[in-house]
Copies of this chain bind each other. A is one copy, B any other.
Amino acid sequence: MSGNTLGQLFKVTSFGESHGPAIGCVIDGVPPRIPLSSDDIQPYVDKRRTGQSKYTSARQEPDKVEILSGVFEGQTTGTPIGLMIANQDARSKDYGDIKDKFRPGHADYSYFQKYGIRDYRGGGRSSARETAMRVAAGAIARKILSEILDTPVNIRGAMVQMGPMGIERANWDWDAVDNNPFGCPDAAAVASWEAHLDEIRSQGSSTGAVIEIVAQGVPAGLGAPVFDRLDADIAKALMSIPAVKGVEIGAGFNAATLTGPQNADEMNIGEDGKVSFASNNSGGVLGGISSGQDIVARFAVKPTSSISIPQKSVNTWGENVEVATRGRHDPCVGIRAVPIGEAMIACVLADHLLRHKGQCGG
């Protein structure tokens, strides 16, 4: 109830602090006889971690995921899967300012208000390091989706806005996404994004971003009518990612500006007897239940508050202070949020798939 579990049937329980002995999670409810090894998981964890460009600062450690249980002779057994990454970079060091000063916009202050104690080393539990476990869980969720469903579900993400810089939708190219440091799907935008982020970085500043996740191949019928709507669970899962401040499905906030006829996704049955939709303003969810269209969700990531520009704050003794983050920092944490967003969607879909099978047997 202190909230470290996600999902009902595909159930991820996470633990671990940035500089404690390890981070890990337990995934309960995985169907049996699904082929699984750490090779299915590690690539996603690596994608999140990697300092593959000058814009992301990686910890100097391999982040090797170990499967501790639930897999036997290369297959899941139906029992809980324990995952762990040992923290190698957890040595004692001088945390200086961070130990006693609350960084504006950080969890430092609210954690201390709640618990009266906080593990300040590297952000403790509030460190984005815990998202490595989300990505690992997402990799297992993908395996479940691909094993249980006849048609493959393809879950991909891209950065569609960085600070004030947007994309041209007409230029969208999934192949472009992996060919730039931002996960930007518009190759024509990359150069100006680079120039912008170089400027931000040289100032010791940071910038926000918007990420879009698309899940193709999701069957109609996943979700529930009232509280546990598929889109509501997606909203929760995405909003739970550190630094996320907004979530939208399909047309999202833009739907507020539309009229009914503009927004309605007209339907048609083709000669093959298959239903098609004239548009996807719904983002693949109608009344909380998937429609068979692509699930499309976007989320806004705020600029990190860990910047080298000094800011006014307070400390644990109730004094006014200035605080600045020293050393490396990510000028755009949204870059790492792409695989995390994909993982969250995968987890929600796997959970709702199992729930649907439980109730409706589909």
- A267–B113 touching, CB < 8 Å: no
Given A110-B287, A269-B320: A256 and B224 within 8 A (CB)?
no
Give bound CA distance, A22 to B71, whole Å: 12
Give bound CA distance, A79 to B110, whole Å: 14
Give bound CA distance, A79 to B269, whole Å: 28
Q: Mark A192-216, 1 if CB is under 8 A from B, else 0.
A: 0000000010000111111000000
Give bound CA distance, A302 to B259, whole Å: 8
Q: Decide if A188 is an interface residue (CB 8 Å cutoff).
A: no
Given A235-B247, A246-B246: A289 and B113 within 8 A (CB)?
yes
Q: State how many copies of this chain the complex holds.
A: 4
| Contact pick for A113, options B221, B242, B305, CB 8 Å | B221
A143 contacts across to B, CB distance below 8 A: none
Considering only residues 290-311 of chain A, those with a C-beta below 8 Å from chain B are 290-292, 300-307, 309, 311
A283 contacts across to B, CB distance below 8 A: 245
Closest to A274 in B: B318
Task: Pick the most buried of A3, A5, A67, A358: most chain B CB atoms within 10 A of its CB.
Answer: A3
Considering only residues 333-362 of chain A, those with a C-beta below 8 Å from chain B are 334, 354-362
Q: Could you tell me the distance in whole angstroms from the C-beta of A230 to the nearest C-beta in chain B?
A: 9
- A110–B220 touching, CB < 8 Å: yes
Closest to A210 in B: B256
Give bound CA distance, A356 to B116, whole Å: 13
- B303–A220 touching, CB < 8 Å: no
A1 contacts across to B, CB distance below 8 A: 1, 8-9, 11, 28-29, 228, 354-355, 358-359
Closest to A308 in B: B260
Task: Pick the most buried of A66, A267, A291, A301: most chain B CB atoms within 10 A of its CB.
Answer: A267
Q: Could you tell me the distance in whole angstroms from the C-beta of A5 to the nearest C-beta in chain B?
A: 6
- A256–B161 touching, CB < 8 Å: yes
A171 contacts across to B, CB distance below 8 A: none
Given A110-B289, A264-B105: A251 and B302 within 8 A (CB)?
yes
- B163–A3 touching, CB < 8 Å: no
Q: Decide if A164 is an interface residue (CB 8 Å cutoff).
A: yes
Considering only residues 1-53 of chain A, those with a C-beta below 8 Å from chain B are 1-6, 8-9, 11-17, 20-26, 28-33
Give bound CA distance, A207 to B255, whole Å: 9
- A68–B24 touching, CB < 8 Å: yes
Considering only residues 214-240 of chain A, those with a C-beta below 8 Å from chain B are 220-229, 231-240
Q: Can you list 7 A-B contacts with CB-CB less than 8 angstroms, sorted by A residue number? A: A1-B359, A2-B30, A4-B26, A110-B221, A110-B291, A235-B235, A253-B300
Q: A77-B119, A264-B311 are in contact. List 8 more A-B contacts (CB 8 A).
A: A21-B69, A30-B359, A31-B361, A110-B285, A163-B256, A206-B260, A208-B255, A246-B246
Nearest 9 interchain pairs by C-beta: A107-B287, A3-B228, A358-B358, A3-B224, A246-B248, A236-B236, A206-B260, A110-B289, A208-B256
